[in-house]
Structure 1
Amino acid sequence: MGFDPHEPEQSRRLREALKASDLGIGELWLNYFSLGGSVGEYEVEAYLQGLLSLPPTERDLLAMAGNELIDRVPRIHAPYSDDLDSDDLTAPTEENRGERDQTGLGGELSQPGKDQGTGEDEHGQEPPRT
């Protein structure tokens, strides 16, 4: 069929990556086609089954399309201790992930009226001294 020695391995690993990411051949083909790929969806499926040989440039475009799709799949991350509080034991979401400090080192959440290291309240007033 004209396979080069690395083609079966490349095809197998792409197929495994798609399966592990729960991505379909249709999604792969659409992204591949949008990148300039020139073979049809049936040919892509045949390639992934090891039934059809593709030129290296087309295989690499398929790999690029697959990797782009895989990078878009949300991944589960283990929470840091400051991601959790006693009332909310859920993992950080896209909405609350941006509330963490900008250093990414797990600083306190920014809250209005709370001292942010300036010694002032939300109105710029220093608290009364006792």
Structure 2
Amino acid sequence: MISERDQQRRTCAAFRQTSLSLYELWLRYVGLGGNAGEEEVDAYLYSSLLLPAFERDMLAHAVNEFIAEQPAPPRAPYSGEGRGGS
């Protein structure tokens, strides 16, 4: 099981790799059932507040959901692939 601090650190790192603003993340999080206010989420992302497990999981889910919606980065082709990359 992941520790609270490790989950916080890794969620923050994943969030920082996205183009989401704090407000956009918070809207997604609330839409999934999260209950913390925008200020609390901000404090969590800057490691000055720990959230309960449910709130941490909903925040992680909001970040992961956004990441999953993004187009996949281009992949390097293998020699046997056609020009279209398939």
TM-score bracket relative to the smaller structure: 0.7 to 0.9
Q: TM-score, length-normalised on structure 2?
A: 0.80
Indicate yes or no: 2:22 matched with 1:25: yes
Indicate yes or no: 2:83 matched with 1:82: yes
Residues in 2 aligned to 1:74 and 1:19: alpha-carbon distance in whole angstroms? 17
Partner AA of 1:52 in structure 2: L
Q: TM-score, length-normalised on structure 1?
A: 0.56
CA contact (8 A) 1:18 1:24 kept: no
Structure 2 unaligned runs (5+)?
none
CA contact (8 A) 1:35 1:65 kept: yes
1:6-31 deviation line (CA, Å, top 9, x unaligned): 22211111111111223222221111
Residues in 2 aligned to 1:24 and 1:10: alpha-carbon distance in whole angstroms? 20
Partner AA of 2:24 in structure 1: E
Residues in 1 aligned to 2:26 and 2:57: alpha-carbon distance in whole angstroms? 13
Residues in 2 aligned to 1:22 and 1:8: alpha-carbon distance in whole angstroms? 23
CA contact (8 A) 1:29 1:44 kept: yes
Match of 1:50 in 2: 47
Residues in 1 aligned to 2:34 and 2:26: alpha-carbon distance in whole angstroms? 8
Structure 1 unaligned runs (5+)?
85-105, 107-130
Q: How many residues in Structure 1 have an aligned counterpart in Structure 2? A: 81
Residues in 2 aligned to 1:28 and 1:11: alpha-carbon distance in whole angstroms? 15
CA contact (8 A) 1:21 1:70 kept: yes
Indicate yes or no: 2:67 matched with 1:70: yes
Indicate yes or no: 2:13 matched with 1:13: no
CA contact (8 A) 1:21 1:73 kept: no
**Percent identity (aligned):** 43
Match of 1:38 in 2: 35
